[in-house]
Amino acid sequence: MNLVMIGTGYVGLTTGVGFATLGHQVVCVDIDAAKIARLDLGEVPFYEPGLQEALTHVQEKGRILFTTDLKSVIGGAEVIMIAVGTPPKSTGEADLTALFAVADQIGSLLDHEVVIAVKSTVPVGTNRKVIAHIREAMEKAQRAELTSLINIVSVPEFLREGSAFEDFLQPDRLVIGSDDKLAGQTVERLHKEMMAPRVMTTLESAELIKYAANAFLATKISFINEIANLADRVGADVRHVAEGIGHDHRIGPHFLKAGVGYGGSCFPKDVSALEQISGANGYSFKLLSAVIEVNNRQREMFFKRMMEKLGGVKGRRVAVWGLAFKAHTDDIRESAGIEIAQRLLAAGADLVVYDPQAMDNAKAVLSHHVEFAVTAMDAATGADVLVVLTEWPEFREVSFSTLHDRMIEPTIFDGRNHLADLNLQSQGFVYHGVGLGTYDAA
């Protein structure tokens, strides 16, 4: 099939390359000319495992093109998929400005039957507004007779940064929402190579499924962090508690890792948006308010505990391992690593940081007073304390005997319990994790 993908961010580019990998002809459109130029040269503008190799492959096969000119490619489209950003406003609701601008542009150019598929995460009711924008623009362009041939499908994404390309090819499920059966079937044909359950539903249900999924996962994270805070005070180990409850198939083991809370481009935005959607529809979603409160408090508690144990950090050399919000990505949006680094800097620390992929992005938001190390060991050399905030595998692979000798005071605060099973205390480290039953509540 001929697919036009509008938007080349994490979702749009991964999805576009994914459909090209499945054999479809894909044209990706973006207003960012510099990004399109890089993509034309075969360069993925962000880090996502497997995506660079896949892009090279489909470009060699001639299955994907990149352009800033929607007008030049819209005529051949059977499906137009929209994957532009919907960032949060200060109120928590999604900003749909870019989405509606794209809808208006599509409507002004369309002159044939096509299915519109919305991949962007949007509040319930947005797809109906998008198709209304498109049809209104078509009428202004004097193509009112074609409006009945344009139908819309909600096809939310469930891609995890760090494994997004794999998630596209091997999804847990496909959610396809539409009022028009044929339009839904057209979008389903795009996915015919995927062996995954299909959830065929309405526009509103598809929109809500996306928010409900992320809100539920965020709830699991906040729940286990609350258990971790209790475990510290009663002498229990949250890792064992998580394992014990995770074997229950009704609960499952996923998203039960205690730490400094969730971050990234999806969970904070989507949980806040769902809370706002609920309020706008006259319902107080109290559980979501608590999930957000717990997540915000978790970072504060971790930082406060460090300050209490260390007696402050002013003038002390502090190393931070991990700036991306999670491993296997360079995304620093809503990152605990970035926030805690900024807090340490404000508290007077002599800060040195390291991340395998997120350094360039971090340099754009951290103070010029921060030192960016070349390796994890370089960052920790001469440090009074090491703070671990992202679960990069390489952090477990360093020589801890060398690390011990390189640090002034071999003290580690692990905000992810990433090194908790390495028995670092026996190697001479003072080690603090989250929920390991060692917090002195007094």
Q: Roughly how many angstroms between the first and final C-alpha of the chain, as a whole number?
A: 65
Q: Which of 3, 140, 1, 152 is nearest to 73 (CA)?
A: 3
Quick one: residue 289, left, alpha or beta (phi over 0 = left, psi -120 to 50 = alpha)? alpha
Q: Name the pTM for this structure.
A: 0.92
pLDDT tens digits for 22-64? 999 999 999 999 999 999 999 999 999 999 999 999 999 999 9
Q: What is the mean pLDDT of the chain?
A: 96
Q: For residue 372, what is the enclosing H or E element?
A: strand 371-372
Q: Which CATH architecture has domain 2-201?
A: 3-Layer(aba) Sandwich (3.40)
**Closest by Cα among 349, 343, 352, 324 to 416:** 324
CA pair distance 13, 55, nearest whole angstrom: 9
326, pLDDT greater than 60: yes
Q: Which residues pair with 5 in a beta bridge?
A: 28, 81
Locate 351 and state its tokens: 């800060």
pLDDT at 371: 97
For residue range 230-257, what is the model confidence (pLDDT) as tens digits? Answer: 999 999 999 999 999 999 999 999 999 9
Q: Sketch the domain layout of the chain as residue ranges.
A: 2-201, 202-442
Q: Indicate if the pLDDT at residue 182 is higher than 90.
A: yes
**Residue 440, pLDDT score:** 54
The predicted pLDDT at position 439 comes to 60
CATH top class, domain 202-442: alpha beta
Q: Please state the rounded mean pLDDT for residues 202-211.
A: 97
Stretch 96-123: mean pLDDT: 97
pLDDT at residue 71 above 50?
yes
pLDDT tens readout for residues 276-302: 999 999 999 999 999 999 999 999 999
Identify the CA nearest to 407 among candidates 389, 423, 436, 427. Answer: 427
Distance between CA atoms of 317 and 213, rounded to whole angstroms? Answer: 41
CA angle, 199 as apex, 16 and 153 as ends, to 5°?
50
Tell me if 400 sits within 8 A of 425, measured CB to CB: no
pLDDT, one tens digit per residue, over 341-359 is: 999 999 999 999 999 999 9
User: Look-up: residue for tokens 């409900």?
Assistant: 212
Could you read off the pLDDT of 370-400 as tens digits, one per residue? 999 999 999 999 999 999 999 999 999 999 9
Query: At residue 441, does pLDDT exceed 70?
Result: no
Using 50, 70 and 90 to split pLDDT, how confident is the model at 93? confident
Length of the chain in terms of residues written: 442
In angstroms, the CA 426 to CA 372 distance is 30
Residues annotated as part of the active site: 266
pLDDT tens-digit map of 9-20: 999 999 999 999
Residue 5 has pLDDT above 50, yes or no: yes
Residue 273's pLDDT is 92
